[in-house]
Amino acid sequence: MIYAAYGSNLDPQQMAERCPHSPIRGTGWLAGWRLTFGGDGWDGALPTLAEDSRSQVFVGLYDVPAADEQALDGWESADSGLYHKITVRVSTLDGELPAWTYALNDFEGGLPSARTIGLLADAAQAAGAPDDYLTELRARPCRSGW
């Protein structure tokens, strides 16, 4: 199945380093979802998804074989229970397709750090996200410092 990256893994170079056997398949949108933040990590709230019929999230799509999936679970702390996998429907120029992604196992709320917002925006830009999506992402409220 296809992996839908919405966070820092949107960056094709980062994904190539983390999952060298997982080619990029393209980009798309998670219609009916919004990018939000939750929990309270050492660097502020962590990125996650929440259902919202009025929103959409830009994603990068990757073909991830089992070995790379296991490595990615480690990178995303899914192997420790911080995140869990969900199945979503991604809208692409070729139609809709099912994909899996990660969702945080914690409450929604809290502010991400300015560092986190910068990483997410840079990754989205590297993946080819449209300017209006990048502008909205970079304008999100965040806490300063680490």
Is 67 annotated to bind a ligand? Reply is no
Is 8 annotated to bind a ligand? Reply is yes
Q: Residue with structure tokens 């420790």?
A: 80
Q: Residue 129 — φ and ψ, nearest 5°? A: -60, 145
Is 102 annotated to bind a ligand? Reply is no
The CA radius of gyration of the chain, in Å to the nearest whole number, is 14
Is 7 annotated to bind a ligand? Reply is yes
Catalytic residue (one of 17, 51, 69, 76):
76
Helix locations, the chain, DSSP H: 12-18, 66-75, 114-126, 131-138
17 part of the active site: no
Is 6 annotated to bind a ligand? Reply is yes
What lies within 8 Å, CB to CB, of 29 at 6+ separation is 56, 57, 58, 59, 90, 91, 92
Instruction: Tell me how far the alpha carbon of residue 53 is from its chain's centroid.
Output: 18
Is 3 annotated to bind a ligand? Reply is yes
Q: What amino acid positions are annotated as catalytic residues?
A: 76
Annotated binding residues? 3-8
Annotated binding residues for substrate? 3-8
